[in-house]
Structure 1
């Protein structure tokens, strides 16, 4: 299914009963909606949620930006100097994409769950569209403050590496990168299958540069997060080397009343061994929001 936010087309899918409370799942950098595995979505649906997952702009089957992506250095410099950003769009625009999906489904208010960059978008939704938000779950994400949530040099290099164009080389490179920030109990066979599925569904690596520029341009949300007045849970991995757990602590500290859960064996991914706990935390958060 597809909807629009202005000229931007957004691809989305639903799982579950539309009479249940809605739960919008927001993807991370370069991740397609299949990053939220169908079995995970079904667990959430079985727990009583109408699950909605979608492709952010510039990935998957959603619209691609025609313009050349900006220099990330220039984007950072513009932020530091208070100049107009060269980024093609910002996290506020990406938040509006999610709101457009809710509009298309006739959903007035929704629980919202986002991982990594998706957590940043979820935070932005709670800041800008608080009247549409029942609760937020910010997963392995951060506030945008420069002194928290920093990647290790190895993980940062893996993130910024130019991906190979050929399918099998791309999968091998993707897995090698994930080894720098993965959870202790990740299923590597399943992860290889997922990497191939992402490649086959849509391979558009330049989109990640546009998205990363949006992240950089947004800057530090700490002060803005202090205005958030919806129930919040923050989930983070204790061995996350791509967004250090300090980013999760800072997010929970910025949002009044937020609950922080740190998983000792979790890196920068969603291992299936933790899915039942994620679902339990979502059910508990929904109870707090009711």
Structure 2
């Protein structure tokens, strides 16, 4: 996203950083980023695809990411994270959905098309279930229900997520590229230059060594929320669920379970797509989202 960072101090909540692009009278499309990602994680080409359809695109940094507030609470221990147990003072996905509704309130947006990827998909699901009047449609991209038997992260990915935080921007970029080589797709490879620029920008926007300091607490929020399958049955917004068939971060069973849980949801599995918004899939995703949102007028 281009444009300046803006901020809102939510009542009894964190300070949220956001950006808005598109006409003031455009159809609101809210993009919710995933675990440890910031508002710049949405590919420019994908955003432009939505803008070309007349959207007013809103992106933001979740709490504990980007330029938004770092929560003053202990991080779950590595053991808690591996065992899937939240920390003693964990917030949950409901709190993050409340942050999101607070941002919509601040912007004067009564209803929006809600799009979330990975953890952002979980936040979007929770928003649509608990605040049905705010979600015109829901699009959940490579996400899951919280049920332990579905959508599990591969052990090979889990092992690579461990270790101490990077101490320099060069180390952070190297780690990002190495992790992307693991979870990425040979069918839809990443653009290395774009990934270097994004990882460098993430480090600089989020204050260097603190850039990923909130990730354990965000993981704790997912664990604290548990199995949300029954809650997803309350979603009334038209729902599109998109997943790749080679995802090593959220197994494709998570996407299928999400589509089964949400009444009337449409499931699209993209062959060769991994847990990454690669250049080869962003046009298709923008088209899927644009067609899905066009069915409901706001």
Change (3 A) 1:40 1:75: closer
* Alpha-carbon distance, 1:67 to partner: 2.3
Please, which of 178, 181, 190 is the counterpart of residue 186 of structure 1? 190
Check 1:242–1:76 CA distance in 2 against 1; reply closer, same or farther (3 A cut): closer
Q: What is the match of residue 47 of structure 1?
A: 53
2: distance between equivalents of 1:167 and 1:95?
31
* Alignment of structure 1 residues 197-236 onto 2, 5 Å: 197-202=201-206, 203=208, 204=210, 205-236=212-243
Map of 2:132 onto structure 1: 130
* Equivalent residue for 1:256, pick from 243, 263, 269: 263
Deviation, structure 1 residue 151: 1.6
**Aligned residues of 2:84 and 2:223 also touching (Cα < 8 A):** no
The change in CA–CA distance for 1:263 and 1:170 in structure 2 (over 3 A counts) is same
1:13-32 superposed matches below 5 A: 13-32=19-38
Partner of 1:246: 253
CA 1:124–1:76: 2 relative to 1, 3 Å: farther
Q: 2: CA distance between counterparts of 1:17 and 1:72?
A: 45
Unaligned runs of 5+ in 1: none
Structure 2: any 5+ residue segments left out of the alignment? 1-5
Q: SS of 2:63's equivalent?
A: coil
Pick closer, same or farther for the CA change 1:52–1:200 going to 2, 3 Å: same
Match of 1:154 among 137, 153, 156: 156
TM superposition score normalised by structure 2: 0.91
Matched, 1:2 2:7: yes
How many residues align structurally? Answer: 286
Native 8 Å contact 1:241 1:268 kept in 2: yes
- Give the whole-Å Cα distance in 2 for the aligned partners of 1:253 and 1:70: 31
2:269 is paired with a residue whose SS is strand
Equivalent position of 2:3 in the other structure: none
Give the alignment's Cα RMSD to 1 decimal.
1.8
In the alignment, the residues of structure 1 paired with residue 193 and residue 84 of structure 2 have an alpha-carbon distance, to the nearest angstrom, of 42
- Between the aligned partners of 1:116 and 1:90, the Cα distance in structure 2 is 15
Aligned residue for 2:282? 275
Contact 1:27/1:55 (8 A) holds in 2: yes
- Deviates further, 53-62 or 270-279: 270-279
- Cα distance in 2 for residues equivalent to 1:246 and 1:274: 20
Q: Please state how far the C-alpha of 1:234 moved relative to its aligned partner.
A: 0.6
